[in-house]
Amino acid sequence: MFWRSIAKLYVFLAPQNAADRHCGDVISISLVRLAQYGNRSAEQEIMNLVGFTVDDWIDGYRFLSRWRGREAEVRANLERCIRRYRYTGSFLTYVFRTLTCAARGIRPIQAYSLDEPIFDGSAKRSDKI
């Protein structure tokens, strides 16, 4: 079943329905199990495929947007998820919940412009530096 599913790698980018999500689960769990047995190419492949999905989550979910700009930390969490996965359900759900729980302790990055007016608009932030 795994080799028939390999042609459906698009499910990590744009799953259309529940059958596509199930196919993505089958592919991801198979690759994770191979990676846990030491297959480096399977580990790199699952990192790349799930990376696309995680990027989509970061853009789509407000509470996961705290990971924006922290690609190295996301990658480290993903590697830990691959090593620690013992759950019998969806690997993508496991990664989603792991990132959600880990994001609770991250302060969101707030960007400020020095040209932004402050108080009544007569002064800019750069004037106060």
10-21 pLDDT per residue, tens? 777 778 888 888
Segment 67-90, tens digit of pLDDT: 888 899 999 999 999 999 998 789
Nearest-angstrom CA–CA distance, 7 and 26: 13
Q: What is the distance of C-alpha 86 from the center of its chain?
A: 19
Question: Which residues constitute the domain of residue 36?
Answer: 2-128
If you average pLDDT over residues 33-39, what whole number do you get?
94
Banded pLDDT at 127 (limits 50, 70, 90): confident
pLDDT of residue 118: 76
Burial of 31 (0-12, 13-18, 19+ CB in 10 A): buried
pLDDT of residue 94: 94
pLDDT of residue 1: 43
Tell me the β-bridge partners of 124. Answer: 117
Reported pTM: 0.76
- With contact defined as beta carbons under 8 Å apart, do 98 and 85 qualify? no
**Total domain count for the chain?**
1
Nearest-angstrom CA–CA distance, 66 and 79: 19
Tell me which H or E stretch contains 95: helix 91-103
